[in-house]
A and B are shown apart, each in its own frame.
Chain A
Amino acid sequence: MLARVAENVYWMARYVERAENTARLINVNTNLLLDLPRKVPFGWGALIDITGYDAMFKERYETADERSVMRFLIADTMHPASILSALDNARENARTVRDIIPREAWEQLNHLCLRAKNDLQLGLTQRGRHDYLRWVILGCQTITGMLAGTMTHDHGYDFLRMGRNLERADMTTRIIDVRSANLLPDQAEHAVTYDNIQWMSVLKSLTGYQMYRRAMQVRVRRPDVLRFLFKDARFPRAFYHTVCEVENSLQDLPRNDAPLRLVVQLQRLVNESHPEALSQAELHEYIDELQLRLAEINDQITATYFSLGAQVSTAA
């Protein structure tokens, strides 16, 4: 399989997953907002910090109010994690690999892209936002499902699965980070009251509430939620599960030593850690560390498979 084609498939999957998770990220904040009492100071700026594009945001917008943040996260095509950019990028990557992916998946992606643009004004209103985000998520899930169900599970699919899971791992940590960010003073009286409700909204935005109840069989509490979202091996959006999926995909690929080593190290790190015992500040650092590791894995995959040096002269 051509390196370029593998790279395009990988990024197509990453961008589809990114669009979906940006929508989830917005949802978690919206839900939090609804649950919190009016007197609690609460902002949209935290969402921007979490995307890692705060410098770009500050350049382009005056204040981090709901309107600007929504525009930045949904519609700003300069921002690579905005829903529109992610879908556009997914489509551009898919275009060159149309003979690799099933036609229906390409058509669905095309359709999703067009609809996301057409209905944008609706998506930017407070009332229309929920529906807009809901079908963005649904549309992305449809593509993922079509690919799982109709694409031959060959090397191309391995790259697709790696892209999807690395992106999902990264975004899961960011969604948890929304809650861990300094939205509320840690020890404030009223914070305790609302703590559990807020973790519930994190779970719900990851479509993980039901699965959490089944897996943990306890009511929603911070330590259990953290253990579930970071360390569960079976929930598809749990961090550890996604890393195992990457490992699994790599096992099928040739020349997998270097990337596999990094993935196994990350698995060990998660297994041996106790995120439930961390304070909010420590949790934030822990999440930073995981994101750094994911970036390293991405770089190693790129170096191993996508950017073969021209200096190799006696390969055959």
Chain B
Amino acid sequence: MTIKWKDYPTKGIYDELMRGGGRARDAARSLCQYLRTLSDEELQERKAASELAIRVMGITFTVYCETEGSIDRAWPFDIIPRVIPKKEWEVIEAGLKQRVRALNMFIDDIYHEQRIVKDKVFPAEVLAGSKNFREQCVGISPPLGVWAHICGSDLVRHKDGQVYVLEDNLRVPSGVSYMLENRQVMKRVFPELFRDASILPMDDYPSQLYDTLASISPEPKAQPEVVVLTPGIYNSAYFEHAYLAQQMGCELVEGSDLVVGDDDCVYMRAVEGLIKVDVVYRRIDDLFLDPEAFHPDSMLGVPGLMRAWKSGRVALANAPGAGVADDKVVYAYVPQMIKYYLSEEAIIPNVETYLCDDKLQREHVLANLNKLVVKPANESGGYGMLMGPQASRKECEKFARLIRKDPRNYIAQPLLTLSTAPTLVNNHVEPRHLDLRPFVLSGQQTYVTMGGLTRVALRKGSMVVNSSQGGGSKDTWIVDTEAG
């Protein structure tokens, strides 16, 4: 039995590859035709080959466990790629660039004159209630006026076919290494597809990342000393930290490897002696960065790092305080920001968002809790959420209390039906929901990854794509249908 596209259900949901009735979308046509030619054995072989490649390449994510220490689990991967036509991607790319530009202008404004607040486009109360606003950053001007050098925005497609931005990750977004490794796995498993189709390459991300980081070096140098700062091997994204350091040819450092001198410069402790560091790509949260400035008991950070950054002796990416824009209430204002700073309309729309801080909107939310998704403003990874349509009455009541108690900290959105793509389940294909996280680099230039990390909920009907909760991933192809 081979794949029968005719039996593939697409009713009421937007599918990324199939139109319904067994017809593939243009950009996916040759892929679907090819997959149909594979026998069951061949499909199993390819699947096994992908699993082997993942093991051999050592693509893992880390789960810490008391008895065994940390366990590296193999990365769950589906061999059927998600396909996006180049034309559509170009619009998304432009939309992401526009969005990140506005976000960076917003952050810079917030830590300086706060014009957007004075002009009453962005309410002062929202800023006052922001958990990620850092007093310590007021008045600082990072190189090029850029705060969020690396941004990972989560995109989803609703059943109407429209792509929305679900959230912007401006603190320490992760996942890019898996995006790159997924492509490597696919090239090993389906080399023939890459010969025949016009799949646009994405492999230059590490060089682009290095160039972005080098462009914010305090001193212009041909080869500035760039390091990747990791919380250590027990962090779930350690694989990515090590991977990026290796790909960029940089040192992977921990807090204890760095020291700030009396000259406010940052040095790394090397066998050769102390070596001056120009740029730190930090993968540690703000509050753990520097025990002198934030949590005094943080063992992860570097004492004096904020002092060094403020004096302009070292660049930090992302800049501390950039998370002020990584707040679901602030998110709701991004379309207004784009208009305010760029005089443009947002190219990619936001998901409709109700702010519980606003009396009218709050009443609407409270009256419709069983239809909405309620999210706390500052959590990430899907924590502390209410999925209204699936929630019990008790849970709804609990959230009603929470919202009344701290309205600033909650937003609500309609439940989206994420688009699907065919996913291999025991030798046949079934639709599974997915999202997309592209990465945007901002330095001297702005760069968007060609595609992004597609995360897929492997459980039937599930919309939860997190790898810790049964999520997997797929390679993402941007296909140029006109290149022939």
Asked if residues A2 and B270 are in contact (CB atoms below 8 Å), the reply is: yes
- Answer yes or no: A62 CB below 8 A from chain B CBs: no
Asked if residues A254 and B269 are in contact (CB atoms below 8 Å), the reply is: no
Chain A residue nearest in CB terms to B265: A316
Assess A96 versus B269: contact at CB under 8 Å? Given A4-B254, A313-B261.
no
Asked if residues A2 and B261 are in contact (CB atoms below 8 Å), the reply is: no
Cα A143 to Cα B262 with chains together (Å) = 43
Asked if residues A103 and B276 are in contact (CB atoms below 8 Å), the reply is: no
Cα A96 to Cα B254 with chains together (Å) = 11
CB distance from A310 to the nearest CB of B (A): 5
Assess A254 versus B233: contact at CB under 8 Å? Given A4-B257, A310-B259, A313-B261.
no
User: Chain A: how many interface residues by the 8 Å CB criterion?
Assistant: 24
- Answer yes or no: B384 CB below 8 A from chain A CBs: no
- Answer yes or no: B390 CB below 8 A from chain A CBs: no
Asked if residues A255 and B233 are in contact (CB atoms below 8 Å), the reply is: no
CB within 8 Å of B: which A187-210 residues: none
Cα A140 to Cα B456 with chains together (Å) = 43
- Answer yes or no: A95 CB below 8 A from chain B CBs: yes
Q: Within the complex, which residue of B246, B261, B270 is in contact with A3, where a contact is CB–CB below 8 Å?
A: B270
The interface centre, meaning the residue of B242, B259, B265 with most chain A CB atoms within 10 A of its CB, is B259
- Answer yes or no: A55 CB below 8 A from chain B CBs: no
Asked if residues B271 and A315 are in contact (CB atoms below 8 Å), the reply is: no
- Answer yes or no: A135 CB below 8 A from chain B CBs: no
- Answer yes or no: A155 CB below 8 A from chain B CBs: yes
Dominant secondary structure at the A interface: loop
- Answer yes or no: A218 CB below 8 A from chain B CBs: no
Interface size class on chain B is 20 to 34
Assess A254 versus B273: contact at CB under 8 Å? Given A3-B257, A4-B257.
yes
Chain A residues with CB under 8 A of B261: 310, 312-315
Chain B, 253-269, contact with A by CB distance < 8 Å: what is the 0/1 string? 11011010111010111
Chain A, 245-262, contact with B by CB distance < 8 Å: what is the 0/1 string? 000000001110000000
CB distance from A201 to the nearest CB of B (A): 38
Asked if residues A254 and B242 are in contact (CB atoms below 8 Å), the reply is: no
Chain B residue nearest in CB terms to A1: B271
Chain B residues with CB under 8 A of A3: 257, 269-271
Q: Within the complex, which residue of B252, B256, B273 is in contact with A315, where a contact is CB–CB below 8 Å?
A: B273
Asked if residues A2 and B262 are in contact (CB atoms below 8 Å), the reply is: no
- Answer yes or no: A34 CB below 8 A from chain B CBs: no
Q: Within the complex, which residue of B242, B254, B274, B276 is in contact with A99, where a contact is CB–CB below 8 Å?
A: B242
Chain B residues with CB under 8 A of A308: 259, 269, 273-274
Cα A99 to Cα B58 with chains together (Å) = 11
CB distance from B65 to the nearest CB of A (A): 14
Cα A314 to Cα B69 with chains together (Å) = 40
Cα A86 to Cα B103 with chains together (Å) = 52
- Answer yes or no: A112 CB below 8 A from chain B CBs: no
Cα A117 to Cα B267 with chains together (Å) = 41
Asked if residues A2 and B274 are in contact (CB atoms below 8 Å), the reply is: no
Chain A residues within 8 Å of B, Cβ to Cβ: 1-4, 6, 92, 95-96, 98-99, 103, 155, 159, 253-255, 305, 308, 310, 312-316
